[in-house]
Amino acid sequence: MKHFALLALAAGLVVSCSGDESGGPNPPPAPATASVTTPLVPPPVFIPSSVTIRAGGTVTFKNADGSPAAHNVRSLSDAWPLTTLQAGESFDVTLATAGQYPFQCTIHPGMNGTIVVK
C-alpha cells in the first residue's frame, strides 16, 4: 500500500508539471516582430503568407521585388490603410489586439496572407 501511495504521488507531480492541457510542453511565446516580403522572381506572392506575432508586435512589409513592380497591402479587416510599396520600400504594421488579420495585394490577384496576433 505504501508503494501505491508513492506511485500516485509521483504520477500527480508529473501531471502537474507537464505544461499545457495537451500534456506537452508550453509553446514558446509569439515573437514581437515578423517580416513579410515579395520575392525577387515571379509569381507575385507574400513570403511567408502567414506570420504570427504577440499582441503589440509589429510586422514589416517589404517590396523586395527587383523589378519596378509595385505591390500594395490591403487589410481585409481595415486594421490599417491601403499602402502601396514601390520596389525597395517597406512599411510597418503594429497590432495590439489578438486575432487574425487577412491581407492582400489588390494589384496582383491571388497575392494573399494572414497575420495571427496572440
pLDDT for 18: 35
pLDDT for 21: 44
CB < 8 Å & 24+ apart, contacts of 63-69: 63/37, 63/38, 63/87, 63/88, 63/89, 63/90, 64/37, 64/38, 64/39, 64/40, 64/88, 65/38, 65/39, 65/40, 66/40, 69/44
Q: Determine the average pLDDT of the residues in 10-30.
A: 52
Ordered structural domains, the chain, with CATH: 30-117 (2.60.40.420)
pTM, whole model, 2 decimals?
0.74
Local confidence band at 2 (pLDDT 50, 70, 90 cut-offs): very low
CB of 25 within 8 A of CB of 51? no
Identify which has the larger pLDDT, 17 or 27: 27
